[in-house]
Structure 1
């Protein structure tokens, strides 16, 4: 069958799929041929784009799917995130923005197939690579290993995921074509027995269709489990892709590039990464011409909201926490609008459509607006809104306090009248240092800062250290060393500082805070509260260039972190989270408590280092 006929068959199958089937209708089959995927026995080329449901407002899932169809995609790829679905041990959540089954069903309604990636480890520039923080409280538990406690928790998780998603596989009338076990395991280790346990657990959880694994080209043989389909990441040379997969799959295909990177992500303090479309469109063209299936990572990045960004770190590079925007310079931008890259890739895909077949029109860009300056009317000092503390001789980590994310305030008393260096061993990750309620400096793990000189006034001195978890490492061996807070000794001069009070500040619920009208002169971190009226709603962007460092909530939704160092200077506010009439805003500001005015823009600033 020549390429034209293959693509005609693929489009016929896609059209029949999207022509109004429901889960109870349109039974399909999906299988591996020697060189092609086979949908209902006919060759099928997957043109897929990665999009993660927690990074997109639930209210916008369908609109993003329509954009995927308009670019020519026939498949959506997504990870499943363990720490989203089991934030605390034994407490599972598949509701609201975590309703991954609904995400898959909407894709089906929009005529899209799904590639599912529910491995407990996802990487994904996501906090702890997707692992829930509480795994670190299980003594002896080792992630990505055959350690029994890990496997026991893993099994509970994958069984819960299976209940949600196994019924949505294609062999059960759904639209999930394939399911991935583990994730780039060859870049981490090479234990085939561990991979086999993964496969067995997936089968027990009800994933009885086609399974595959994926690895970067240099690690594929190490991370591949014989018997499954190997897929390759980061390689788009058709000859090399086929050669590599043949070598690991009994000389056969089908051929799948599971992660193709048309751009890249950003981290704080480093320039915004962009890749021009003309650099990558020819590669997409050559892959499609060769009949190879592809998943672009990312098609639409969205936003890593709340505290869910991860971080990179290894022995040769500093700690690199990722920014909140996951725009990724992807074909669909952070707000869900088509970019020039989108149009360039669409033009490539259109080349392979049979005569007479046309893609849907590209939906118009969403309207944007700049709103009037927002003047803050209320303030709450963090130091005046502390919960009941937990006392301990030595500092306790976030994990000791059973706190996943956010901040912890560490408090103790020093004998004053002297000058010396305060040293925080293994600070994770960012500390605001305060003496008698006044901010005197900061320490930043990114910059390998762990010491600050303090000049203490006479008498008893209150030392407060507000520590922020900037994101657990999501890749590499340091997954196993990911506790947060003050994780080592604290010394002042030559003496160890003891007898600490720990105040957990996860900032999940701001309703208990006690605000005062007007400004607070206290030079320490504050939460600001304001409101604004809207006659109409549209996307907008908070301009945080004049502010310091912190987080913002709109109508109760955590928009993510801002930090004046850049490159991200704006926070995206989706129209879906605004309302006509009164809207509320809260800002946690660590460094510039004097700020009291917020402005907005009608476009983002993602490329400004300060």
Structure 2
């Protein structure tokens, strides 16, 4: 078993003053015992903690630059996690895609790369070091590829003695609020991996796939779309071939060493002995499944209660200053929310006289979100986007003669990250200089003109009252004065209920239908933000269901607390059981057998199963059996797992055959044998030369 753990050692974690075995202490009083290092694609975590916020406030710090306060000093070597020490780490990474932003730092960027490489190598951890997307990675650090199609986009190692490594194979783009679903097919992933290895690649990460191919391939370009890459070891019978059809729509039959091989569009066939077709990237014969959400019959007897956040005025605020404070610095990553309040006086002659004309409240914000109130009444909400955090809020408001109060609840949805797939405010160089929060506030269309109240003296308070009381916990919820749901929901409301632990042992989720934006807690544990009213271009929320870890649930009774920014009530919220009990297979007659049908002996591949041909293999989760055949068709069915439909051709005996082979079993296989499916030896549709078998069953 090829086991890999990548240490994504960004040069970025801890400001160290004293050092000890796996222990760090900064002058800011924080301690970290380095026992568990993980990487989520963007940030380094030590013991489950992201790169800490307080690094942002270290004097003179410049992230990802040749800058003393930013450099890491102690690594994981003391914890004996590297392979030569008996640990699981076989490859270590220093920095990540720095090449994209290096020019912004001028000469300090160049020296930083050299320093990072030298520092890493000098640690003598005993495993190779890589830099992703760093063309000038200094020796002996290996420059590696990140992306979707490194077989075509990677120019290769910058020295001939370095291996070709693909450290991030992007299975899909992560979704941000406002995004539609992002999906990348298994076939495209398989094609890109095979393409990379056919060009001499050595390792692809995220799948822990490796290839050991001796020497450079012999490349035979047949035409613009078709090529054959062959690896052979002189003096032996060892041979491997990759046959490529790079045409996106047309299939092809390619002759290789006297044998014809059929290749679907945009596919690669793998012949590990240059004779036997064991895999084609477009012919995925593995089992598929469909995620099902089912309302729990016992967990949804909710009895909701609520209490409202008070809208503050300028009185009893925590911090006062002439202009609104920058939001990140105010929050210090302790909460999403902070209040900004101010007041101003209006005389009768300031207000418009003409009926139907109202003053306009204008707030220019650097992001990310905002809920605005005037004299305690909701004026509106606004937010930026992932690509453009800033936004301009303008709403008509009812003002009065005398004192008027403006209260703004500003919010963030996280700290800046480097994101090279989006050219956004929170991407790239100098991330420590990103800002958020209200920047400029004014009242437009007064009789006396526009009044700028940006420098009007502002009160600030970090966090919500409910957060301070910890009303999301059993103990804290007793401190609030809860009341029954109001027939007219109010903004900034907390909702609580109790629910019975859902039946079974499978995954659990909560569906937030009918809600706007806020947060959710289960038994005092935060399960994330919901943002149902930020719709994707498809007109749907980016995410509607949210995972509830079973470990968060009590044996029977549970507390659910929701904070909601919008004037909405949780009357459509529901607890769901989640399963993947719908399993499917979709194979064609010209698909190769399962790759596990073969074994290699002395460079030649031999079958180890009685039937060599495509077959549908289905397997339920442990403890479950196939109870229902929901769909079965041999002919030309179409669709996807959970949504198959009959075509114009169907062998009517198909479902009966599948039921006979599979019902009551944990696992079953159905050979794609035309003779078996044809009734009385008659082909129901001989005009369809290559037929397909689609099966969908339900486990229970």
Q: Give the aligned partner of residue 413 of structure 2.
A: 470
Q: What residue is the counterpart of 2:463 in the other structure?
A: 505
Q: Does the Cα contact within 8 Å between 2:321 and 2:458 map onto a contact in 1?
A: yes
Q: Decide whether the 8 Å contact of 2:318 with 2:461 is kept in 1.
A: yes
Question: Which residue is equivalent to 1:100?
Answer: 36
* Contact 2:82-2:89 within 8 A present in 1 as well: yes
Whether the aligned pair in 1 keeps the contact of 2:4 and 2:89 (CA below 8 Å) is no
Question: Where does 1:195-594 land on structure 2 (aligned, <5 Å)?
Answer: 195-202=113-120, 207=125, 209-215=127-133, 220-222=134-136, 224-234=137-147, 236=149, 238=151, 241=154, 244-245=156-157, 248-249=158-159, 251-288=160-197, 292-297=201-206, 370-371=295-296, 372-373=299-300, 375-383=302-310, 389-401=318-330, 403-404=332-333, 405-415=335-345, 418=351, 419-446=358-385, 449-458=391-400, 459-475=402-418, 476-477=428-429, 479-486=431-438, 488-493=439-444, 494-497=450-453, 498-505=456-463, 507=467, 509-510=470-471, 511=473, 512=476, 514-519=480-485, 523-534=490-501, 536=503, 537-564=505-532, 565=535, 566-594=541-569
Q: Which residue of structure 2 lines up, in the alignment, with residue 598 of structure 1?
A: 573
CA distances 1:557-598 after superposition (whole Å, capped 9, x unpaired): 221111122221111112232232111111110113433452
| 1:230–1:295 distance in 2 versus 1, CA, 3 Å | same
1:198 Cα offset (Å) = 1.8
Shift of 1:555: 1.9
Query: Structure 1 CA distance, aligned partners of 2:205 and 2:270?
Result: 13
Q: Which runs of 5+ in 2 are unaligned?
A: 15-23, 104-108, 209-267, 277-285, 352-357, 419-427, 445-449, 536-540, 580-700
Q: Which runs of 5+ in 1 are unaligned?
A: 1-10, 15-73, 102-115, 300-346, 356-360, 605-610
User: Normalized against structure 1, the TM-score is what?
Assistant: 0.62
Give the 3-state SS of the residue equivalent to 2:526 in structure 1.
strand
Q: Give, in whole Å, the separation in 2 of the partners of 1:454 and 1:89.
A: 46
C-alpha displacement of 1:290: 5.5
Query: How many pairs does the alignment contain?
Result: 440
- The answer (yes or no) to whether the contact 1:374–1:597 under 8 Å persists in 2 is no
Q: Secondary structure at the match of 2:310?
A: helix
Structure having the higher helix fraction is 1
Equivalent position to 1:135, from 52, 55, 77: 55
Following the alignment from structure 2 to structure 1, what is the Cα–Cα distance between the partners of residues 502 and 135?
Answer: 58
Instruction: Please state whether the residue corresponding to 1:530 is helix, strand or coil.
Output: strand
Deviation, structure 1 residue 432: 0.5
Contact residue 381 and residue 522 of structure 1 kept, 8 A: no
CA contact (8 A) 2:43 2:51 kept: no
1:284-326: CA deviations, max 9, x gaps?
A: 2333455633344589xxxxxxxxxxxxxxxxxxxxxxxxxxx
Of 156, 159, 179, the match for 2:92: 179
Kept after mapping to 2: 8 A contact 1:426/1:450: yes
Distance across 2 between alignment mates of 1:577 and 1:393: 44
Instruction: Answer whether contact 1:232 1:257 (CA < 8 A) is retained.
Output: yes
Alpha-carbon distance between aligned partners in 2 of 1:138 and 1:442, rounded to the nearest angstrom: 34
Aligned residues of 1:122 and 1:130 also touching (Cα < 8 A): no
* Contact 1:443/1:452 (8 A) holds in 2: no
Return closer, same or farther for 1:272/1:117 CA change in 2, 3 Å cut-off.
closer
- Take 2:329 and 2:151, find their aligned partners in 1: how far apart are those partners? 50
| Structure 1 residues 433 and 235, CA gap change in structure 2 (3 angstroms) | closer
Q: SS in structure 2 opposite 1:282?
A: helix
Q: Which residue of 2 aligns with 1:35?
A: none
Change (3 A) 1:184 1:438: same
CA distance in 2, matches of 1:581, 1:283: 48
CA contact (8 A) 2:496 2:562 kept: yes
1:130-158 C-alpha deviation (Å, 9 max, x unpaired): 653333333442211123xxx22433xx5
The offset of 1:414, in angstroms, is 3.1
Counterpart Cα distance in 2 of 1:88 and 1:406: 26
2: distance between equivalents of 1:83 and 1:524? 39
Q: Compare CA radii of gyration and give the structure with the larger one.
A: 2
Cα distance in 1 for partners of 2:312, 2:501 equals 30
Q: Distance in 2 between matches of 1:135 and 1:283?
A: 39
TM-score by length of 2: 0.55
Q: Helix, strand or coil for the counterpart of 2:327?
A: coil
Q: Secondary structure at the match of 2:54?
A: helix
Q: CA contact under 8 A between 1:260 and 1:294: conserved in structure 2?
A: no
Distance 2:122 2:317 in 1: 44
Deviations 1:472-529 (A, max 9, x none): 331213624323323x232223333222111111748545562412235672211212
CA contact (8 A) 1:374 1:599 kept: no
2:61 and 2:70 in contact (8 A); partners too: no
Provide the C-alpha distance between the structure 2 equivalents of 1:515 and 1:297, rounded to a whole number of angstroms.
49
- Quote the Cα distance in structure 2 between the aligned partners of 1:581 and 1:87: 43
Compute the displacement of 1:181 (Å): 0.7
Describe the shift of the 1:435–1:275 C-alpha distance in structure 2 as closer, same or farther (beyond 3 A): same
Structure with higher strand content: 2
